[in-house]
């Protein structure tokens, strides 16, 4: 999961060698009926978003957030993955459609964002870091930044 976040951070760090750079990426993972992992990417269209949310209805989805902190000049890198589990309530078709039209979460993993109306789709959220679900687990990130010398706070 950290492969993309590391690639993003290294791409920026190569242009800013005196800087520390943070890269992050998130994927939603759903177990299908055969207990096989199904990755739910960014839906891109309303139809795909509705399909993804339909598949999440009444189920638990793991949101994996990979983070990489990279130093440009020497290439030092610190990486971690945060897992947040979201259990969706049972969603009827009109609820899903209303949510997608109002929130337009087409660029969000699994077609869901908790920081808006998406929270109303949840039965529960299990996480060590409530900021992780919005794409950047700040508790663990602050730990890494302190480790490399940033005085936070």
Q: How do residues 78-117 score in pLDDT, each as one tens digit?
A: 999 999 999 999 999 999 999 999 999 999 999 999 998 9
Cβ neighbours of residue 151 closer than 8 Å, sequence gap 6 or more = none
Active site residues per annotation: 25
Q: What is the pLDDT of residues 44-89, one digit of tens each?
A: 999 999 999 999 999 999 999 999 999 989 989 999 999 999 999 9
The model carries a pTM of 0.90
Count of helix runs (H) and strand runs (E) in the chain: 4, 5
Q: What is the mean pLDDT of residues 24-31?
A: 92
Q: How far is CA 114 from CA 71, 99, 117, 118, in A?
A: 31, 12, 7, 5
- So what's the architecture of 2-147 in CATH? Alpha-Beta Complex (3.90)
As a whole-number percent, the residues of the chain with pLDDT over 90 amount to 87
DSSP string, 49-71: HHHHHHHHTTSEEEEEEEEEEEE
pLDDT above 80: residue 14 = yes
Average pLDDT score, the chain: 94
What per-residue confidence (pLDDT) applies to 34?
Answer: 66
Look at residue 75 in the predicted model and tell me its pLDDT: 85
């Amino acid at each position: 999961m950290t492969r993309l976040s590391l690639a993003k951070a290294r791409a920026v760090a190569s242009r800013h060698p005196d800087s520390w750079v943070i890269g992050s990426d998130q994927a939603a993972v759903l177990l299908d009926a055969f207990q096989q992992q199904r990755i739910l990417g960014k839906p891109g269209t309303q139809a795909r978003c509705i399909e993804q949310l339909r598949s999440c209805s009444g189920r638990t989805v793991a949101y994996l957030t990979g983070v990489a902190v990279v130093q440009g000049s020497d290439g030092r890198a610190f990486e971690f993955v945060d897992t947040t589990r979201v259990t969706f309530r049972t969603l009827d078709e009109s609820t899903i459609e209303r949510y997608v039209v109002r929130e337009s979460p087409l660029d969000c993993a699994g077609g869901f964002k908790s920081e808006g109306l998406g929270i109303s789709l949840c039965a529960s959220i299990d996480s060590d870091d409530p900021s992780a679900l919005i794409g950047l687990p700040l508790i663990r990130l602050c730990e890494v930044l302190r480790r490399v010398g940033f005085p936070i706070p």
